[in-house]
Amino acid sequence: MTTRYTKEHEWIRLDGDAATVGITDHAQSQLGDVVYVELPEIGKTFAAGAEAAVVESVKAASEVYAPAAGEVVAVNAALAEDPAKVNADAMGEGWFFKLRLADPRQLDALMDEAAYRRFVEEQQ
């Protein structure tokens, strides 16, 4: 399972025919305490880069973009009751939604972990 990253601080991890999407540890640390997550509807399709979800924290509200084109096949309903999962485990239990990708090769255009780490360091 390779994880890829976007410049908007989303991560995407392909596992079989579905890809799990969330925000990075860096993004959640910048947001502060997450208080609300608005998830997309199952069955909705997104183009790469389209707004797919919203995350609200005590500091700000922020859009979560689809890192690749696809159809939503699952959402993390646990975030409705416990949005703090995003802060506790952004790269694991704090995932947002799963996409059935239109074309898995889209992930090749995204950053790997080393490139993402360099990108974050350059932004600071």
For the chain, list the domains and their CATH numbers.
3-101 (2.40.50.100)
Q: 55: which strand partners?
A: 37, 62
pLDDT at 69: 97
Q: Does residue 63 contact residue 53 with C-beta atoms inside 8 Å?
A: yes
pLDDT at 17: 83
- pTM for the full predicted model: 0.96
The count of other CB atoms within 10 Å of the CB of residue 48 is 18
pLDDT at 6: 98
Q: For the chain (length 124 residues), average pLDDT per consecutive 10?
A: 94 94 97 97 98 96 97 97 97 98 95 97 91
pLDDT at 45: 98
